[in-house]
Amino acid sequence: MKNWNLNDLYPSFNEQYNKDLKKLEDLTDSYIFHINQKNPEPVQYIEGYLKFHEEMHILARTMGSFAMLTMSTDVTNSEAPVYMSKIQRITRKSTAEDVLFTRYLTTVDLNELAKKSELINKYLYNLELEQKEAKHLLSEKEEILYAKLRELASSGWSNLHSLTTANLPVQYRDKEITLSEVRNLAYENDQAVRKDAFEAEIKSFSQIEDQVALALSNIKREVTIMNDLRGYSSALEKTLDQSKMTKETLDAMLSAMKDYRVHFEKYLQAKAKYLGHDTDLPFYDLFAPVGKLDKTYTYEEAQELVKEAFYGYSKRLGDFAKKAFDKEWIDVYPKKGKRGGAFCANQPQLKQSRIMTNFTGSLSDVLTLAHELGHGYHGEVISSNSALHWSYPMPLAETASIFCETIVNNHLLSLIKNPKERLSVLENSLQGDTQVIIDILSRYIFETNLFAKTDGPVSKHLMKEMMVSAQKEAYLNGLDHNQLHPYMWLVKGHYYSSGLNFYNFPYAFGLLFGKGLYAQYLKNPQAFLASYDDLLSLTTKTSVEACAKTMGIDVTKKDFWMDSLEQVKKDIDEVIHLFQT
């Protein structure tokens, strides 16, 4: 079945797991005692805070990852959510002390203290961000109350979405299949299969739309209420702070994306004609394979293709992929009770990663595998960083994944001489670009409009209307306006986190930033190889803009984004030409 092996985390919720749970609680109690000392000496006080956080972060990450990964492939597991709740209860104990320490940072000169302490200097950027966040804190009692209620409110609604969609039975033709399975049929060669699968998917959502719409509405209303209390002007402001990114950068990128909608519109209209439609492209044919590459890949073939492409870039990247395959870090196939989609969970404390896919053999699945291995490679690089430098902001999270996906796609293209086979591979890549640029734009528009309505409950009817409207605005006339997907808000799990909003534009950033980097690689491979891993390491230590500048890129300027989109336009022009030959 190609299930992942979690034994290096824990073999089960065993005695060692429970010992570590007790250790985490003891560490938390000691941390609380440290923070509550009176008139502390600043250097000793801040160093103590950092040392406790390093140790607690490692332990909580290991335990929390095991529980999360267990739930991801078996949503019916009864132990995992119980332990997740226990971990949350322990980490919640120190909420008041976390607030106390963050407020304390506003009373000291961090730059002066950094001169006296290597540890403070190492984590100076983190501490400065925390110092900045102090103005958005509530009182200690309010923060404790929210931490407790959040588990029962937005976290509970998020779990409802995961459980409901993972266990949703879909009646496709004469059999019952999972949501992941029916969505994967969108990539089938037979148009009748794609159409029937799409209609079955849409019909299945009508069974759960009431409860999931309520979940999403309540999550976003909670976010709005809390942001108002914390003094944020919007959910977007908070997301940009979390992303270590400026509004200037976001606006430059979005403006460029909107300018290039017309080129994607032409591509989709050309695809509709190629597939024999008299109208614009229906949503169910958005992922239709074209050309003559009808090949379905076995997982073994996918592994060899990825390794070959990765080794063509660098030995370190190839070795990483081989290690991930050989050591069973990947959970491969769809199954009942398993979450849909794909993700990578880096485990830098073990110098490992775990990757979940729902592999069915399509070319898209091969590229998804390369994408997630890119995340894992990013994790490999940052595993050499200190523990509190293991988290990168959302926009930079997609840098390595998009880069690795591009490596595999270009490797495939280099092997192909037949124009129809080239069309198949190139258009498949363009499908992904369309999702990450145009569909992401629709998701950004939808979420913006959704937040504008959160002064009260948002009905399922309004959600569907807003999603269709967002798709029309993003895709223009590229898609048939009578055959859109009104339930995309239900499909995408990124909407269902109160702590992580607008997790859409980072994908566009990652794609376009990654393409810009790949262009640099092609110009001077050796120079690029010498600096790329340093860039990945730096993603956890500074802002998006500062990180990009190390590679000579100014992401606040629209010109950079236009140049990256121009690379996509070249693919669009070639695909349209191949459609017509």
Return the CATH number of the domain spanning residue range 208-293+416-581: 1.10.1370.20
Give, as one character, the DSSP assignment of residue 187: G
| Domain boundaries along the sequence of the chain | 15-152, 208-293+416-581
The span from the CA of 213 to the CA of 464, in Å, is 10
Report which residue type is found at 502.
F
Are 69 and 12 a contacting pair, CB within 8 Å?
no
181 - beta bridge partners? none
Name the nearest CA neighbour of 355 among 334, 329, 379: 329
Local confidence pLDDT in tens for the 581 residues of the chain = 689 999 999 999 999 999 999 999 999 999 999 999 999 999 999 999 999 999 999 999 999 999 999 999 998 999 999 999 999 999 989 999 999 999 999 999 999 999 999 999 999 999 999 999 999 999 989 998 998 899 899 999 999 999 999 889 999 999 999 898 999 899 898 999 999 999 999 999 999 999 999 999 999 999 999 999 999 999 999 999 999 999 999 999 999 999 999 999 999 999 999 999 999 999 999 999 999 877 889 999 999 999 999 999 999 999 999 999 999 999 999 988 898 889 999 999 999 999 999 999 988 899 999 999 999 999 999 999 999 999 999 899 989 998 999 999 999 999 888 899 899 989 989 999 999 999 999 999 999 999 999 999 999 999 999 999 999 999 999 999 999 999 999 999 999 999 999 999 999 999 999 999 998 898 899 889 989 999 999 999 999 999 999 999 999 999 999 999 999 999 999 999 999 98
Return the CATH number of the domain spanning residue range 15-152: 1.20.140.70
Are 272 and 285 a contacting pair, CB within 8 Å?
yes
Are 370 and 408 a contacting pair, CB within 8 Å?
yes
330 - beta bridge partners? 355
CA end-to-end span of the chain: 42
The span from the CA of 430 to the CA of 263, in Å, is 12
The answer to whether the Cα torsion of 26, 28, 29, 35 is positive or negative is: positive
- Which residues, 6+ apart, have CB-to-CB distance to 435 below 8 Å? none
Name the nearest CA neighbour of 14 among 89, 65, 79: 79
φ and ψ at residue 571, rounded to 5 degrees = -65, -40
Strand pairing of 343-347 and 352-356? antiparallel
Are 102 and 230 a contacting pair, CB within 8 Å?
no
